[in-house]
Copies of this chain bind each other. A is one copy, B any other.
Amino acid sequence: MALSKNVVKYISALQIKKFRSNFNKFLVEGEKIVGELIKQDVFAIEKIYALPEWLENHQSSIPHNVPFESISETELHKISALKTPNKVLAVVEMPTPANIPTVLVDCALYLDGIQDPGNFGAILRIADWFGIRQVFCSPETADLFNPKVIQATMGAFLRIPVQVITLAELLQNQPQIQVYGALLNGQDVFHTQFQRPSLIVIGNEGNGIASTNLQFIKHPITITAGLGGGAESLNAAVATGIIAAVYSNQRSS
């Protein structure tokens, strides 16, 4: 049985934020990420749409309460947000934000207006790699549930809770939080002794940390350029990776 026009319309609409909010659903695609999705129980899956070849190998791994449907390549193209669809697509329920704790225990990241989906995804992978269990975003940051962000996380969104909250609100009632910010004139990150609980603030790709948030940065830190370097800046995800690596190395040694 072919997908109805209404189903195609519904799933395609989930590429747009407004409709994701209306339906409270988002898309997860591809063998790797859907493979991880069906092994976890935080995110409820509404339905899985897959090519026969994927179902042949994975049907037994789909939880019993999750419906699935075999579709053709042409149908997958119609509902996929990817240029090159990858065998399987899942419609997933958005989690309720109330589940995510805002009390900082160890180290967390605060994304202040990250716009590029690739950067956002790469940053969640960084958190997931280094065992940073909390990521917060300003309201200006790209939408986590944008299909491009979800795909760029390579599945990290399944393990790292992300919450949208202003920096002021997050810090309210938590005066013990040590706020570090990636800035141009701070202390060299390799010479920084991170104190816990630490919050590392990463600014927007073009404009850096919002001027209204600068007041909260107690510890400005900088990735020192090398001799003869000519670039004006590093990519935001790359900068986050370097800071997280130094933090993680310090913590383990």
Contact = CB atoms under 8 A, between A and B. Distances in A.
B231 A154 contact: yes
Of the candidates A118, A125, A128, A238, the one having the most CB atoms from chain B within 10 angstroms of its own CB is: A238
Contact of A228 (B116, B133, B189, B242): B133
Bin the interface of chain A by size. Answer: 35 or more
Interface string A98-140: 0000000000000000001010011001101111110000000
Interface in A184-212: 188-190
B229 A128 contact: yes
Contacts of A189: 245
Contacts of A237: 122, 235, 237-238
Contacts of A252: 224, 226-227
Nearest to A125: B231
A118 B233 CA distance: 15
Given A122-B235, A122-B237, A234-B241, A226 B190 contact: no
Contacts of A241: 234-235, 238-239, 241-242
A125 B226 contact: no
B190 A249 contact: yes
A35 to B, nearest CB: 11
Contacts of A232: 154
B238 A132 contact: no
A149 interface: no
20 contacts: A121-B235, A122-B238, A125-B231, A125-B233, A126-B235, A126-B238, A129-B225, A129-B226, A129-B229, A129-B234, A130-B226, A130-B229, A131-B225, A154-B232, A156-B230, A190-B245, A226-B251, A226-B252, A238-B241, A242-B245
